[in-house]
Amino acid sequence: MPVSILVVMVRCGFTACPRKSQFCLCSRGYATAFYYATSLHKKNFNGDDDMLMELIKHNGRPALFARGNCNFWDDEHTSKLLLEAHLNPDWDAASRRPATIDRTVDWIEEKFLGRDGAKILDLGCGPGLYAQRLAKKGYAVTGMDFSRRSIAYARERAAEEGLGIEYIYSNYLELDCEEAYDLVMLIYCDVGALTDSERDRLFPAVYRALKPGGTFIFDVLSDKCLAGVKEKRDWELLEKGFWAGEPHLALTESFVYQDDKVSLSQTLVVREEGRVDLHRIYTHYYNENELVGLLVKHGFDDAKTYAGLIEEDNFVGNRILFASGRK
């Protein structure tokens, strides 16, 4: 899943425009987009206008790993669509399908757990699909996510089912605890969505959070996917869509940083009142050796990779690599 939103939308398997209205206009070339945008809000498109200058500023290849200015996971509108996607059993969008999650949880248990009461931290837990399953198997689970909506849903479900799962609304890049967990997991290619410096901040924090002998598990997109990623540009003028629940113009562009094995899906969202949101979703593709090297670099022992675990996932399942390392 790219849900890397294109990544999420792509990694999450969304189309660029999940809910096109009849007024949706798609074409290549930003010039035409600007023409239509003037009818969105004329006063904001004068040549010397701040908003236009903001758009022009982003016309070109961004420096690798330069970040955007907003978090779609926690956006009031987009998080609603994402939660629907997480919970759709027929769609490998924000979460994998139930049968795949069942198999992954069984694999995690057989390979890395097997002791009732072991403490698990699920980073980027979303609505708790893995956490619920693991709690039902008798593990003490904490889920952490910075989507308010997903955490609220996960807490409700846990309460309904009488599961004592702890859910924390927090940015996992701020993770700060010592020797607390037997297993830390980060599932659905989120390591690949981090910049290298974020990743190199997270891995030591995960290491610290693990008890001695504890395991870190994550998955990424294999670098075999990179050949299929093309640079392109598109735009849409919508009454409402994935990025906003109000009229907006979405300018989407993808970039490939071949030497770094990274792709970027960038979307500029322009609203009627002139606000410009800049979404940047990176996907860093890895091979087995790089994953092992990364784990070793951060002090993990017994670094291993696993291919072919996700078979029928419609988000390039056979190109997913899992990795594990032990403290």
Ligand X SMILES: C[S@@+](CC[C@H](N)C(=O)[O-])C[C@H]1O[C@@H](n2cnc3c(N)ncnc32)[C@H](O)[C@@H]1O
Whole-number Å distance between alpha carbons of 161 and 157: 6
Stretch near ligand X under the rule CB under 6 A, chosen from 48-56, 170-178, 206-214, 226-234: 170-178
Report if residue 56 touches ligand X, rule: CB under 6 A: no
Report if residue 141 touches ligand X, rule: CB under 6 A: no
Report if residue 126 touches ligand X, rule: CB under 6 A: yes
Could you give the strand order of the β-sheet that contains 25-27, starting from the edge strand earlier in sequence?
25-27, 232-238, 248-257, 262-271, 276-284
Q: Indicate the residue among 49 and 102 with the shorter CB distance to ligand X.
A: 102
Q: Indicate the residue among 188 and 235 with the shorter CB distance to ligand X.
A: 188
Contact 277, 70 (CB under 8 A): yes
Whole-number Å distance between alpha carbons of 93 and 98: 12
**Out of 2, 68, 124, 241, the residue judged to bind ligand X by CB under 6 A:** 124
- In angstroms, how far is the first alpha carbon of the chain from the final one? 29
Residue position matching structure tokens 């906003």: 244
Could you give the strand order of the β-sheet that contains 210-221, starting from the edge strand earlier in sequence?
166-169, 140-145, 119-123, 181-186, 210-221, 320-326, 301-307
Q: Indicate the residue among 20 and 208 with the shorter CB distance to ligand X.
A: 208
Q: Indicate the residue among 74 and 236 with the shorter CB distance to ligand X.
A: 74
Residue position matching structure tokens 């504890």: 214
**Out of 132, 147, 252, 254, the residue judged to bind ligand X by CB under 6 A:** 147
Rounded to a whole number of angstroms, the minimum distance from the CB of residue 317 to ligand X is 13
Q: Indicate the residue among 122 and 237 with the shorter CB distance to ligand X.
A: 122
Q: Indicate the residue among 124 and 325 with the shorter CB distance to ligand X.
A: 124
Number of residues that bind ligand X (CB under 6 A): 20
Rounded to a whole number of angstroms, the minimum distance from the CB of residue 4 to ligand X is 8
Report if residue 190 touches ligand X, rule: CB under 6 A: yes
Report if residue 75 touches ligand X, rule: CB under 6 A: no
Report if residue 172 touches ligand X, rule: CB under 6 A: yes
Q: What one-letter code names the amino acid at 230?
A: K
Q: Indicate the residue among 40 and 151 with the shorter CB distance to ligand X.
A: 151
Site for ligand X in 150-169 (CB under 6 A): 150
Report if residue 188 touches ligand X, rule: CB under 6 A: yes
Report if residue 235 touches ligand X, rule: CB under 6 A: no
Give the 3-state secondary structure of 184-219: EEECCCCHHHCCHHHHHHHHHHHHHHEEEEEEEEEE
* Phi, psi angles (nearest 5°) of residue 146: -105, 25
What distance separates the 2 farthest-apart alpha carbons in the chain?
65
Site string for ligand X, 271-310 (x = CB under 6 A): ----------------------------------------
Rounded to a whole number of angstroms, the minimum distance from the CB of residue 5 to ligand X is 8
CA angle 130, 150, 98 (to 5 degrees): 35
Rounded to a whole number of angstroms, the minimum distance from the CB of residue 56 to ligand X is 29
Q: At what angle do helices 148-161 and 129-136 cross, to 10 degrees?
A: 20
Report if residue 187 touches ligand X, rule: CB under 6 A: yes
Burial state string for 152-176 with b = 16 or more CB within 10 A and e = fewer than 16: ebbbebbeeeebebebebeebeebe
Q: Which residue is nearest to ligand X (CB)?
A: 124
The residues binding ligand X (CB under 6 A) are: 3, 73, 86, 94-95, 124-126, 129, 144-147, 150, 171-173, 187-188, 190
